[in-house]
Structure 1
Amino acid sequence: MNNKRVGITPPKILVLGFATLIFIGAGLLTLPIATVDGNGLSLLNALFTATSATCVTGLVVVDTGSTFTTFGQLVIISLIQVGGLGFMTLATFFFFLLGKKISLKDRLLLQESLNNLSIAGIVRLVKRVLIFTAIIEIIGAIILSIRFSYDMSVGKAVYYGIFHSISNFNNAGFDLMGEFRSLTPYVSDPTVTLTVCALITLGGIGFIVMNEVYEYRETRRLSVHSKVVLVTSFILTIGGTMLIFLFEFGNDKTLQPLSPLGKILGALFQSVTARTAGANTLNIPDLTHSTLFLTIFLMFIGASPGSTGGGIKTTTFATLLGTVWSQVTGKEDVVLFRRRIVTEIILKALTVTVSGLFLVIGITMLLTITEPGKDFLMILFEVNSAFATVGLSMGLTPELSPIGRMLIIFTMFAGRVGPLTVAFAIAKRRRPVPYRHPQGKIMIG
């Protein structure tokens, strides 16, 4: 008799949940009330926009500010909020309001959704996630609203402040500035630049790290996970800023015309936003090839586990670097912050990275067929942006063919839910095998 339980696993529920949100959002965006022209979006464009919003990517086929009505924009920002936090997190919030108990199955789903290592304390973590999100987004909205009020009416400034605070904290990159400009008018503005950078960074380090930093006053300790996330994020941000500053310093289309402060702010924002945010203060097609390639690298790494961002994650990158360093120095163990990283984690990092590479390479090859005549770097940039749920664009997305748009939709969806599913699948309890094959040696390098 078969004793195996038959049911829907947490990864399947997450995939179905995201897919359901996308189709609901797409349906709403096809309504006449959603667009300024009163015709609604076509089904394909609506599906693309809903996927980009739910997967907190930011790639768009139509300009958000000029195409959508307030209703359409509210649909998009709602999808961003739910997609960034995870639908299970918001569902738990409503459970709290209704006084419903959180079942074991719900806790397992929350653990998977937040990419937490343990089910212990998961409900308390969710409560803090909701509190952290509300506080950060409100503060960001207040600061941006005050700054925008100098350029527009107070009511519009408040609306813009709320929209851009939510969008950037969730690393989505959608904006209302019009004409696909993003935040380029504010490239030298320290208030907008630093506020949005802070929102992106806080949304990208992960709620687990945020919670540990909050509790540090009492515990006086950080886990190796939080240390790796914070140090790696800092190095990537500062290193990226310095390299972009050098690469773009003499570029008369980007940093060269700016003041010294403007140059630093422009380089900093480009480094931060490449970590899965999608907003930009420098015109992406005007960047040098060196900066574009560096941006591709930063996008692929992305944010951190349990965050609103995508990519292979900072911890994956740090684990791979640690593995390489241990091999080069002849050490048997991979050690980060005086802690030995177990083999299972190393194999998981390799699996996530190789899976991501295969997806990016495969979709890029297909787009070179479906989009003949398009620049290869532009295609690679767009695919990598979709996979890492970044949203930065060299301008290819609005020009994609219907097949090309479907491929990017798939890439955004896979980039958002794929790593979670892969991580869960390889973290499941392995079945014991009653035998082992004899060793075999192959030559490497």
Structure 2
Amino acid sequence: MKQFGLDRRTFKILLAGYIIIALFGALLLHSSWAHTTPIDFLDAFFTSTSAVSMTGLAVKNTAVDFTLAGQIIILALVQIGGLGYMGIGLFVYILIRKKVGFSARNLLKESLFYPSMDGLFKFFKKVLLFIFTIELIGAILLTMRFALEMNFKKALWFGIFHSISAFNNSGFTIFEHGLIAYKHDIAINLIITSLIIIGGLGYFVLVELYFFQRKKLQNLSLHTKMVVVASIFLIFSSTLIIFAFEYSNPQTIGHFSFFDKILSSYFIAINYRTAGFNTLDMGHLHDASLFFGSLFMVIGGAPGGTAGGMKVTTVMVLLLYAYWSIRDGRVRIFGHEIPRETISKAFIIAVGSAVYIVIAVILLSLLESNFDFIALLFETSSAFATVGISVGNGGTLSLCALFSDPSKVIIIIMMLSGRIGVFAFLLSVFKQDKAIHLKFPEGKVNL
């Protein structure tokens, strides 16, 4: 059954695949050789899901509660989540030069948000090259910085881990207290945020920008233009909002120098949208900052990359629709008209996201009545958008570390659905009705 030109069965397979991988990862993390402190299976499954969905919410401290083997498993799950498990499978197929069937190619197309089957393998090979090159450069730069304060072997591992984690927008860290010790470090702040931004733009946009810069492409696609414009606007606006709201807050950036206030505001703003690193205790932010942070997280990054959320293109299409509906009704931008089907899909994603988040927050507020509502909204938005940033549990873990088991299950569902996207999740869990060959009379409704 197809709707919007999409096969529901494909999305069901994608969702089932990530659940299976998360369960397998949980089994590995639950093994005695993978952890240093006791961990029950639900927490192992939570950690595995958080990794494969590239979220970063932590109910266990990655640096303290897991062995080196456990950290490697978490990092591998993050990489699988970033490339997509179909991407990993096809990478193996390419290495052994085995022919790939149509169904497998279709799964890859949907997991990468590539527009068609034409040139899919060439695109995928370029994506692989881009991913490993960017992660390698990030690892080298971070290793050089970490080597200033630790031995080279340790610095290398920390560099590799945080480069992969940042590019894949996961927010996992193997520093016991996160990146708080580096809140004034320009190099760490800029390297981490640059990796996050690049990963959050989407693979299609990265490839197009590369060819455009090399003069191999005359014009950028409408998709790429919209992603770049929206991303720049959101980065600047979110940075300014954090800077303004927290400027005088003595528990966050109030006592910082002017430059460090801008640096910390920028770092928070970047992580608000797509990743879960923190250089400050997020629990000390004003409620207004947490509320706007929740909105920015729900918006998310670009399709076909490592970011979650509704996606910047969805929000941009809806804003354009509202604007042009007031004017002449023809939705357009950059000399292109937006198809009605795209607008309908954007509405489904927006309404589905809103309903999904509201239901989850209400359930959590009933189950976890001892927590502030804004903190639960922030945690829910973080899980839905696979961001991973949290107000914390008062220590080194996410707030959900204090949740009951049913609440953790809700967060797990949010992270899994956030990984494949709310539109794909809705299509995979709801049945399509049989076609009705009747024409109903139109009825007027007052609004």
Same topology, TM > 0.5: yes
* Number of the residue aligned with 1:340: 337
Paired with 1:420 and 1:147, the residues of 2 have a C-alpha distance of: 41
* Number of the residue aligned with 2:413: 410
Paired with 1:15 and 1:28, the residues of 2 have a C-alpha distance of: 20
Residues 191-230 of structure 1, C-alpha deviations (whole Å, 9 max, x = no match):
1111111100111010011111111121121010000000
> Over aligned residue pairs, what C-alpha RMSD do you find?
1.9
Q: In the alignment, does 2:204 pair up with 1:208?
A: yes
Instruction: Name the SS for the 2:273 alignment partner.
Output: coil
Q: In the alignment, does 2:260 pair up with 1:262?
A: yes
CA contact (8 A) 1:348 1:423 kept: no
CA contact (8 A) 2:15 2:425 kept: no
CA contact (8 A) 1:311 1:387 kept: yes
Which residues in structure 2 correspond to 1:89-128 (within 5 Å)? 89-128=87-126
Q: Which has the higher contact order (CA 8 A, sep 6+)?
A: 2
Deviation at 1:303, TM superposition (A): 0.9
Seen in structure 2, the aligned counterparts of structure 1 residues 439 and 339 have a Cα distance that, compared at 3 Å, is same
Seen in structure 2, the aligned counterparts of structure 1 residues 120 and 100 have a Cα distance that, compared at 3 Å, is same
Amino acid at match of 2:188: V
Paired with 1:372 and 1:299, the residues of 2 have a C-alpha distance of: 23
Paired with 1:260 and 1:152, the residues of 2 have a C-alpha distance of: 30
Q: In the alignment, does 2:351 pair up with 1:354?
A: yes
* Number of the residue aligned with 1:157: 155
Deviation at 1:357, TM superposition (A): 1.0
Paired with 1:192 and 1:371, the residues of 2 have a C-alpha distance of: 36
Seen in structure 2, the aligned counterparts of structure 1 residues 338 and 197 have a Cα distance that, compared at 3 Å, is same
* Number of the residue aligned with 1:64: 62
Q: In the alignment, does 2:285 pair up with 1:282?
A: no
Q: In the alignment, does 2:439 pair up with 1:436?
A: yes
Which residues in structure 2 correspond to 1:11-410 (within 5 Å)? 11-37=11-37, 39=38, 41-178=39-176, 181-216=177-212, 217-328=215-326, 330-395=327-392, 396-410=399-413
Q: Percent identity?
A: 38
Amino acid at match of 1:394: V
Amino acid at match of 2:286: T
Deviation at 1:264, TM superposition (A): 1.2
CA contact (8 A) 2:383 2:415 kept: yes
Deviation at 1:346, TM superposition (A): 0.5
CA contact (8 A) 1:58 1:278 kept: yes
TM-score by length of 2: 0.93
Paired with 1:163 and 1:250, the residues of 2 have a C-alpha distance of: 34
CA contact (8 A) 1:11 1:420 kept: no
Deviation at 1:174, TM superposition (A): 0.4
Deviation at 1:424, TM superposition (A): 6.6
CA contact (8 A) 1:144 1:195 kept: yes
CA contact (8 A) 1:148 1:161 kept: yes
CA contact (8 A) 1:255 1:266 kept: yes
Residues 346-405 of structure 1, C-alpha deviations (whole Å, 9 max, x = no match):
010010111111111101111111112211111111011000000011122111011111
Amino acid at match of 1:13: I
- Further displaced range: 275-284 or 68-77: 275-284
Residues 165-197 of structure 1, C-alpha deviations (whole Å, 9 max, x = no match):
00010010000110xx32111112111111111
CA contact (8 A) 1:112 1:420 kept: no
Amino acid at match of 1:443: N
Amino acid at match of 1:404: S
Seen in structure 2, the aligned counterparts of structure 1 residues 368 and 430 have a Cα distance that, compared at 3 Å, is closer
Paired with 1:432 and 1:379, the residues of 2 have a C-alpha distance of: 41
Q: Structure 2 regions of 5+ residues with no counterpart?
A: 1-6, 393-398
CA contact (8 A) 1:248 1:254 kept: yes
